[in-house]
Amino acid sequence: MDRYSIKMRASNQDGGRSHHISGAEKIVSEEELELYVSRLLKRAMHHSKGKPDFVNIKIEAVKEEEILHLNALPVTTVETETEEEGRIVVRSYLEKLGIVHIDEIFSAWTQTYSMRGAMLLDIETLKRLEPDRSRGVRTTYMDMETGEETRRAACSGKNHFNEALVLATKVVNHPAIAAEICISDDPDYVTGYIASKKFGYVRITNLKPMGSPNGGRIFLFRGDDAALADCIDYLQKKKVLVHMPGSRQNGPAAEDGRKQGETNKWNWMEESLQEWKRRDLYRTMKVLDSPQNTHVRWNGRDMLMLASNAYLDLCNEERIKAYTAKIMEEYGTGSGGARLTTGTTRLHMELEEAIARFKGREAALVFNTGFAANTGIIPAVCREQDVIFSDELNHASIIDGCRQAKARTIVYRHNDMADLEEKIRESGCESGLIVSDAVFSMDGDIVNLPGLVRLAEKYGLFSMIDEAHATGVIGETGRGCEEYFHMEGSCDILMGTLSKAVGAEGGYVCGSHTLIEYLKNKGRSFIFSTALSPVTIAAAQKGIEILETEPHRSRQLQENVRWFCTCLQKQGLNVHSDTAIIPIRVGDEGKAMEAAGRLMEQGYFIPAIRYPTVKKGEAILRAALMSSHTREELEAAAAAIARTIDEVKAL
């Protein structure tokens, strides 16, 4: 079967200067030829950059035996939040490929912006090898070979991902190309990639700032003159069909729909994500290759962890691991059922007794997560006639618990007891709940427990605090908020997590027998979840035991916080905290992101927190400490943080 290569190029010749609008190419069968010519024409005529006054469509016959068939490179995605992070990823791959002049490659980058083709760079001599330097070398004669669905989608508009995967597959299949790095020209498209035969096509979700039109490609070349001639010939002339894996489930089809405004049920989702990216609010994950410790491995680098909730460094504790391994031998891995059916083991009961004892309460109940605890407890204990009073900075799980409850919710100003009392009075309620974080998760400040409990008692309301960031952290022996205020036993509902200081997983609530029995029967997230596995429960048991028997860990953590705050203050930063969460004010969202990115580059894992998590224009770097950080580590980190904040403020 013979095929045809079609190349379309649309431009505007207005005013004598040719201005590129869009271009595309396909390799299709004879039967498909007319169809694709008209589709490419349609694409040329309906481009967001405007209507072209010159469209060139070139059609050439291609013999089957001329075609090189290649399998598409395997694709992996690395989520990054900033350009700096993205570059760290590129750097780590270049290192893994044995490429040495990485800084020089990065600095060549800006020269590619104005080019229509790619830079061909010799990785040994750093010489540019393109025959025409202002244009660059262009790869052509390539297309994907796949099901009709994907092709149809791919032809209806520019599909960055599919087109790039085809191009990269062709490029890195030449033996003299060690790798290709690429960033799009499209100002809204911040995903780029590094491709190599060895590691495949690695998408990096952020390689440039949103809104930047600066894109380019570098083909990294290693070889002699003969290889060079062959390489250029291959890139420009060899006909390549790339066999794509899977079908349109890959996602790109949805993106086409978005670009072309076609009817596509995924459209709104894609659009919403794009919008989120434009507003600098897009969230991504950082993938670690190590246990949660003061030092973690991220993208092949050792990072000082200043963001973990593993406050007492118990996620990788030898005694916990040994005990858990033994329990896994005895009890296996899964629980097989909800707590009220088949999922309760002796360990579950023992853990609940241990939590109740540790917190000085009659009973406790374990939920699968802290989130599940809050969304289970609040709707259960609040009836239709009740009113919930909730601090404006409460954690999302409390907010969702309030939303799920039949009761009305009234939000009071952060930790403001006068406002709370006024709102209780105004509501005229006779029963209900006051609920607050014990330690607020973003600012690291502590609830006014004396004030809260006093108002609860005065107005006959339940009091509830969420000790996620308090347990193991505050109080002389790490028992949390009540111990901190010397108010043991004063709160009606004590909720917390097993996933932070305790080093395991899960949420809990403790209180009276009545409360716990009621929640066992009415807490929907408790009733309708499969129980945590015996392994997780065992880890939590050992974790609680260590909290009880080794209170010096909490004291060391508190000591670390004082030391770190002092170091930051010496550097001129106005920082204070009584908990393990230390907010360092930056202000501007962009600058906070930039600072976090630069700190990542220096080996410090510390996130920027921005709107909507904190108020607009009040972005922070949020440090979280562990008991096992050393003074030296914290001192060096404080210096780096202060220096970096100065740098970004001067930008």
Catalytic machinery residues: 441, 469, 500
What is the DSSP annotation of 102-158? HHHHHHHGGGGTT-SSBEEEETTT--B--SSTTT-B---SEEEE--HHHHHHHHSS-
Quick one: which segment of 35-43, 183-191, 237-245, 491-499 binds ligand WAQ (CB under 6 A)?
Answer: 183-191
Q: Which of 489, 527, 539 has the alpha carbon at shortest distance from 511?
A: 489
- Tell me the site size for ligand WAQ, rule CB under 6 A: 23
Neighbours of 554 (CB within 10 A): 26
Sites for Mg ion among residues 183-202 (CB under 5 A): 185
Binding ligand WAQ (rule: CB under 6 A), the pick from 22, 150, 184, 335 is: 184
CA distance 90 to 170: 20
116 binds, among ligand WAQ, Mg ion, none (CB under 5 to 8 A by kind): ligand WAQ
560 binds, among Mg ion, ligand WAQ, none (CB under 5 to 8 A by kind): none
Please identify, using beta-carbon distances, which residue of 52 and 215 lies nearer to Mg ion.
Answer: 215
Q: Which of 392, 467, 381 has the alpha carbon at shortest distance from 432?
A: 381
73 binds, among Mg ion, ligand WAQ, none (CB under 5 to 8 A by kind): none
CA angle 82, 182, 199 (to 5 degrees): 90
CA distance 374 to 506: 12
339-344 contact pairs (CB < 8 A, 24+): 339/520, 339/526, 339/527, 339/529, 339/531, 340/520, 340/527, 343/530, 343/531, 344/531
C-alpha pair distances (Å), 33 with each of 3, 10, 95, 123, 144: 9, 19, 44, 41, 15
- Tell me the site size for Mg ion, rule CB under 5 A: 3
117 binds, among ligand WAQ, Mg ion, none (CB under 5 to 8 A by kind): ligand WAQ
Q: Contact between 182 and ligand WAQ (CB under 6 A)?
A: yes
Q: Contact between 541 and ligand WAQ (CB under 6 A)?
A: no
Q: Contact between 115 and ligand WAQ (CB under 6 A)?
A: yes
Residue where the block lists tokens 């060096």? 636
Q: Contact between 234 and ligand WAQ (CB under 6 A)?
A: no
- E strand or H helix that includes residue 609: strand 608-609
Quick one: which segment of 91-99, 180-188, 472-480, 487-495 binds Mg ion (CB under 5 A)?
Answer: 180-188
184 binds, among ligand WAQ, Mg ion, none (CB under 5 to 8 A by kind): ligand WAQ
CA distance 335 to 344: 7
Q: Contact between 160 and ligand WAQ (CB under 6 A)?
A: yes
Write down the least CB distance from residue 274 to Mg ion, Å.
Answer: 21
Q: Determine the distance from the C-alpha atom of residue 348 to the mean position of all C-alpha atoms in its chain, rounded to a whole number.
A: 32
Q: Contact between 231 and ligand WAQ (CB under 6 A)?
A: no
Neighbours of 588 (CB within 10 A): 16
Binding ligand WAQ (rule: CB under 6 A), the pick from 118, 241, 363, 625 is: 118
Q: What 8-state DSSP symbol labels residue 137?
A: B
Q: CA dihedral defined by 287, 288, 293, 294, rounded to 10 degrees?
A: -80
Binding ligand WAQ (rule: CB under 6 A), the pick from 161, 221, 311, 358 is: 161
Quick one: which segment of 54-62, 188-196, 352-360, 613-621 binds ligand WAQ (CB under 6 A)?
Answer: 188-196
Sites for ligand WAQ among residues 568-627 (CB under 6 A): none
Q: Contact between 193 and ligand WAQ (CB under 6 A)?
A: yes
Quick one: which segment of 208-216, 381-389, 467-475, 499-507 binds Mg ion (CB under 5 A)?
Answer: 208-216
CA distance 409 to 389: 6
Q: Contact between 557 and ligand WAQ (CB under 6 A)?
A: no
CA angle 382, 387, 388 (to 5 degrees): 75
Binding mask of the shown chain, residues 129 to 168, with x at each position contacting Mg ion by CB under 5 A: ----------------------------------------
The dihedrals phi and psi of 590, each to the nearest 5 degrees, come to -60, -45
Binding ligand WAQ (rule: CB under 6 A), the pick from 157, 215, 370, 506 is: 215
Q: Contact between 308 and ligand WAQ (CB under 6 A)?
A: no
Write down the least CB distance from residue 75 to ligand WAQ, Å.
Answer: 7
**For 404, how many CA atoms within 13 A lie in the half-sphere containing its CB?**
20
Q: Is 373 left (phi over 0), alpha (psi -120 to 50) or beta?
A: alpha
Residue where the block lists tokens 């390539």? 142
Binding ligand WAQ (rule: CB under 6 A), the pick from 33, 79, 102, 186 is: 186
Quick one: which segment of 156-164, 326-334, 378-386, 499-507 binds ligand WAQ (CB under 6 A)?
Answer: 156-164
Q: Contact between 215 and Mg ion (CB under 5 A)?
A: yes
Of the chain, the end-to-end C-alpha distance in Å amounts to 60
Q: Contact between 217 and ligand WAQ (CB under 6 A)?
A: yes
Please identify, using beta-carbon distances, which residue of 119 and 434 lies nearer to ligand WAQ.
Answer: 119
Write down the least CB distance from residue 215 to Mg ion, Å.
Answer: 5
Q: CA dihedral defined by 521, 525, 529, 535, rounded to 10 degrees?
A: -100
The dihedrals phi and psi of 251, each to the nearest 5 degrees, come to 105, -40
Write down the least CB distance from residue 128 to ligand WAQ, Å.
Answer: 14
Q: What are the tokens at 171?
A: 């490029």
SS3 content of the chain, % helix, strand, coil (to 5): 40, 25, 40
Binding Mg ion (rule: CB under 5 A), the pick from 157, 216, 475, 534 is: 216
For β-strands 142-145 and 239-243, DSSP reports them as parallel
Please identify, using beta-carbon distances, which residue of 117 and 370 lies nearer to ligand WAQ.
Answer: 117
Q: Contact between 20 and Mg ion (CB under 5 A)?
A: no
Quick one: which segment of 108-116, 323-331, 485-493, 565-573 binds ligand WAQ (CB under 6 A)?
Answer: 108-116
Q: Contact between 151 and ligand WAQ (CB under 6 A)?
A: no
Please identify, using beta-carbon distances, which residue of 161 and 298 lies nearer to ligand WAQ.
Answer: 161
Write down the least CB distance from residue 15 to Mg ion, Å.
Answer: 22
Please identify, using beta-carbon distances, which residue of 155 and 382 lies nearer to ligand WAQ.
Answer: 155
Side chain identity, residue 577: S
Q: Contact between 22 and ligand WAQ (CB under 6 A)?
A: no
Binding ligand WAQ (rule: CB under 6 A), the pick from 52, 86, 200, 216 is: 216
Please identify, using beta-carbon distances, which residue of 137 and 502 lies nearer to Mg ion.
Answer: 137
CA distance 39 to 32: 11
CA distance 610 to 279: 11
For β-strands 408-412 and 387-391, DSSP reports them as parallel
Sites for ligand WAQ among residues 359-388 (CB under 6 A): none
CA distance 413 to 397: 18
Q: Which of 240, 118, 236 has the alpha carbon at shortest distance from 170?
A: 240
**Under a CB-based contact definition with an 8 Å cutoff, are residues 589 and 610 in contact?**
yes
186 binds, among ligand WAQ, Mg ion, none (CB under 5 to 8 A by kind): ligand WAQ
Using CB under 5 A, list all residues that contact Mg ion: 185, 215-216
Using CB under 6 A, list all residues that contact ligand WAQ: 112, 115-118, 136, 138-139, 160-161, 164, 167, 182, 184-186, 191-193, 203, 215-217
